[in-house]
Chain A
């Protein structure tokens, strides 16, 4: 269960969002919508703990959040399997046997990360989420550079494996994933330009 109360976040000292409230029950997803620059990425990074919130609280089980962005963290000199194995080891998890099939990576298992196409890299980055076994996922545009088929693969995994296990996902996306999930439009939460105070924020 994820509860966000009166949440405000800033980017580079400039407040972007304020007064965000939402709850996501176990086994559900939430889709964040909003025009470019509204602060979807900043919100997700703040929720995941990569940057401090300027106000408000976020509650979810300790050490259960994971963040995924445009950058997949793929090492070009490691193979697909080694990349996944590394993240599994870091999280103290086992590599699920079917993870390569789920994301259509079986044929690529011994290819070096550097030789993958953008879409294949993306699939590998998403497969990481299936490996680390975290309960609350904060996904920033997970479907960038994926083709229609791969988007379906990902949506299937999310629905049938991740959410079906009672886990949670908060997803910022511009496309329709085909999930039956509530949407939250962030436009009404846009922060007033000077709500956050002085210009020192960026240095603190």
Chain B
């Protein structure tokens, strides 16, 4: 499984578009918002948590369709399915690789972008924490969506339609945690619920992903 993780990371680095694209997209979306709503810092700092989270969702979405599509096209997925690796493990590794190439860079870049949106200083720890806890769920749910659409040509749009509604709980609790942090309230509840979503998706979705892959490989 480690071999698969290393291969996927190496491919993401070599092929480009792994680390860079999602991050650049995140940056652009966040930078565009002040242009759109005007330079009112009070308004910006109020909508910053939501903007940062929505932008992370979209950036995570961008690279989802590559998770299985490339392996499906060149036949490696069928070969992996007959290898000693359980498909559940493959699904989990794929989600982990996606998180390392997308979720982790987003989390690390978010504070700099929070500054652009004049996010209140008290909110920064919760921005980092909520993204750190929440983005793995985005990757795992996205991996499941990618497995659902793996055999389809132009499955990318369908994938977005399937996956975005599933992202709603993470978005709500993620933005809520930052907002509460910014207002000096206790964000523990929101963070715990989000951690629950992440843990739940990693516990259940690898199995769902694997069975969907088995059907799509027929």
By the criterion CB–CB under 8 Å, are B75 and A71 in contact?
yes
By the criterion CB–CB under 8 Å, are A50 and B218 in contact?
yes
State in angstroms the CA–CA spacing of A131 and B10 once bound together: 21
Q: Which of chain B's residues have a CB closer than 8 A to the CB of A82?
A: 7, 10
Count CB-based A-B contacts (< 8 Å).
68
Q: List 20 A-B contacts (CB under 8 A).
A: A45-B218, A50-B78, A50-B217, A50-B218, A51-B217, A51-B218, A63-B84, A65-B82, A69-B78, A71-B75, A73-B74, A73-B78, A75-B7, A75-B11, A78-B14, A87-B79, A89-B2, A89-B3, A90-B83, A90-B85
Name A's interface SS: loop
By the criterion CB–CB under 8 Å, are B75 and A73 in contact?
yes
Per-residue contact bits, chain B 1-32, to A (CB 8 Å; 1 contact, 0 not): 01110010011001100000000000000000
Give the total of A residues in contact with B, Cβ under 8 Å: 30
The range of chain B's interface size is 20 to 34
By the criterion CB–CB under 8 Å, are B15 and A77 in contact?
yes
Q: How far is the CB of A47 from chain B (nearest CB, A)?
A: 11
Q: Which of chain A's residues have a CB closer than 8 A to the CB of B104?
A: none
Nearest to A10 among chain B residues (CB) is B218
**Residue B11 contacts which of A71, A73, A77 (CB distance < 8 angstroms)?**
A77
Q: Which of chain A's residues have a CB closer than 8 A to the CB of B76?
A: 73, 75
Name B's interface SS: helix
Residue A91 at the chain B interface, CB threshold 8 Å: yes
Q: How far is the CB of B66 from chain A (nearest CB, A)?
A: 12
**Residue B82 contacts which of A48, A52, A77 (CB distance < 8 angstroms)?**
A48
Nearest to B72 among chain A residues (CB) is A71
Nearest to B2 among chain A residues (CB) is A89
Q: Which of chain A's residues have a CB closer than 8 A to the CB of B2?
A: 89
Residue A23 at the chain B interface, CB threshold 8 Å: no
CB contact list, A58-72 vs B, under 8 A? 63, 65-72
Residue B80 at the chain A interface, CB threshold 8 Å: yes
Q: How far is the CB of B144 from chain A (nearest CB, A)?
A: 19
By the criterion CB–CB under 8 Å, are A71 and B7 in contact?
no
